[in-house]
A and B are shown apart, each in its own frame.
Chain A
Amino acid sequence: MSLVFAGVVSHAPGITGRAQRAEPAARDRFYAALDRLRLEMEETRPDALIVVGAEHFANFFMNNMPSLCIGMSDHYEGPIEDEQWLAIKRRRIPGNAALSRVLIERVMQSCDVAYAEEWKFDHGIMVPLHFLTPRYDLPVIPVNINCQGPPLIPLHRAWAFGKALRDACDAIPERIALVGTGGISHWPATPDSGKINVEWDQQFLQRFLANDRTALLGYTDAQTHREAGQGGFEIRTFLSVAAATEGQTGQLYCYEPIPIFAVGCTVARMTVA
């Protein structure tokens, strides 16, 4: 059929791994928003969920780093991290290789992507799945945008990728849900872990929810790095979702800066027309 659902969520490992150390009221508002997104996604009866993530050297390393990669397997596994550290039990996650292949071939009409028939999910995908598909009964198609370190795909190419993904979804009979996942401002895995630039985040979210292409493409990596930390490079995942829903706006379900989770915890849904 087409794209039936689009949203964005945070994925920081502390969200599950350090859950008990968060301020309970803020944490529970965030968890409730994730559950709301799950229920609304389920109402759209998706056949598969595309997760556009920004993984952290679990599969892709500097020996052969793709800017863009789409999974093409009937199953994946995760988390790659220690189960106790992430507080998510390791398991097999269903995929759909045939559906992946159709999508990849469509995307390739306008955008070069790598594919992967093997993929060990890290927290970047496992944390969203833990909340959005807790029964692990929905086939997942993982997508990665390298956001870890330069050279990084330019923002306008991340946008073009989101458009290509949308075109691919609209060309197939299956009902596809799309979730982008990344941090906004954050300094993960540094001595500044827990620092959050709330003002920067709010301005970014305003632009994202308004689907303001010009403003979103106006960020530079040097500026983002300076003001939003190296974790801010992950805005690429948000931009791909904005591109996939270009012309439509979104609604913010949650923004809670939770320092022990090292990120402004975000849940938003974009309208799909």
Chain B
Amino acid sequence: MGWKEYFLAALFVNIFQMAIAFVIFSLQDVLPLNPQGFPGLSWDSAFMQVISFGTNTNLQHYNGEGLCNQLPNCAALTPGVPGLSYLSQMMAVQFLQFTSATTGICVAVAMIRGFITHSKDLGNFYVDFTRSLTRILLPLCFVASLVFVGLGTPQTLTGYQIVKTVEGATTQATQTILVGPVASLVSIMQLGTNGGGYYGANSAYPFQNPSPASDIFQIFLMLLIPTSLCFVFGQLIGKKRETRPILWGAYALFALDLLIAFTPNLPVVGPGMEVRFGGFFSTFWTVVTTAVTTGSLNASLSAVNPLVILSAFNGMLIQATPGGKGVGVMYMVMFIVLTVFIVGLMSGRTPEYLGLKITARDVKLVMIAFLVHPVIVLIPMVLAYSTGAASAIGVGTNSVGFTKIFYEFTSAAANNGSDFLGATANTPFFNVSTAIVMFLGRFTPIGLLLALGGSMINRKRLTTEAGVRTDSPLFSLILVGSILVLVLLTFFPFLALGPILGFFQGRVNGF
């Protein structure tokens, strides 16, 4: 397939998958496996959620478990805050988590194929999809799911368990134990860098993340495939040294994020954190989850220091540290082409990458791909404030409120999915606006970068490598520098008004 055919096939499959999930979300009240009797999702909520899962974002404006925590049954649901049936968790959430992660691997490999010498096309999407799913994701998730069950994550289709508590021996108090098919979801949500949890509290909820061991295992799963894909790049193009700028660049920026996050001090357990993880793993998780744009959380974002939030923003604004499944590598190649171009301009050499001359069209493609991000983050932010949608859900116009709204759209655009707002953002404005942002943030850069890969096919290779060597440590250094300059130039004023201002206002116990 050429890039257009490949892109269309990916888009079509994804849209059909999202359409199926939309029907399941909307009709979950009449479909089977709904022991708690949850009502169907409203149209805007279902629309937003299928785009959220279908774009690998996993922003969640609902609590999967409903609000049944201490209720003997789910009759008293808070209106407007939907819960999900077991069928929706399986055939809508887990389903789209698998397919969006698979799509990410496919489009990354397709783009890389364009850079291979003598390649004829970008491959066949249908073949790539089937292979990535059946040979990588399903086997890995099978093992990971059973590990999670062994560590304490439930996996059952029977309804919530109602038990009489210890004090219930005298007071008759009961507790509802919120079980479900959790483990099979947790494996793909972490391995697929999706991040959408079974529960509203995500991986802070003990069933989803029972122990320090499961916490570390989830961090490992998040990093596994995005890091592997850096090596896939060098392998596929037949020049393993070319993995270096992608890998080194990604991990240098990741290290910088860690440095920022841990600057205040080694954090201790505070409100909004879980005792079994402690301050260190809560902070470390928050950096990792944004560095690979997973978006799962093991602590409340409101609990962490503003500098940790700043570090999280860095991950989501760069999207290549090492970034989401597949798209992380694509973004890094985008930054490399930009850097090669800038270095070429400064040194007066013809810009070239892998022996390929970088043309004006290539630079236009990567520039547009880069600029999509600020456009779809900043415009809806302005709308959220100017239409009163932000104040309608109780978000203020101070550094805290600004950070929350900025984070919401950054997370949506970066297909990350962590957020401050959660179910409070289940309003038509936030559902529709974030849905549009997520869709554009996913498929525009993928289309543009597939076009970049496609245009490399049959391009003449320069025999004498006169350009800048991209496998040297110096180039990685310049790459990191130019990424920081590009991203900071674009977003610094907004970061300054949000987390940086929050830090200087002394909001050390978070927001």
- Chain B binds chain A: no
Which A residues have a C-beta under 8 Å from some C-beta of B?
A: none
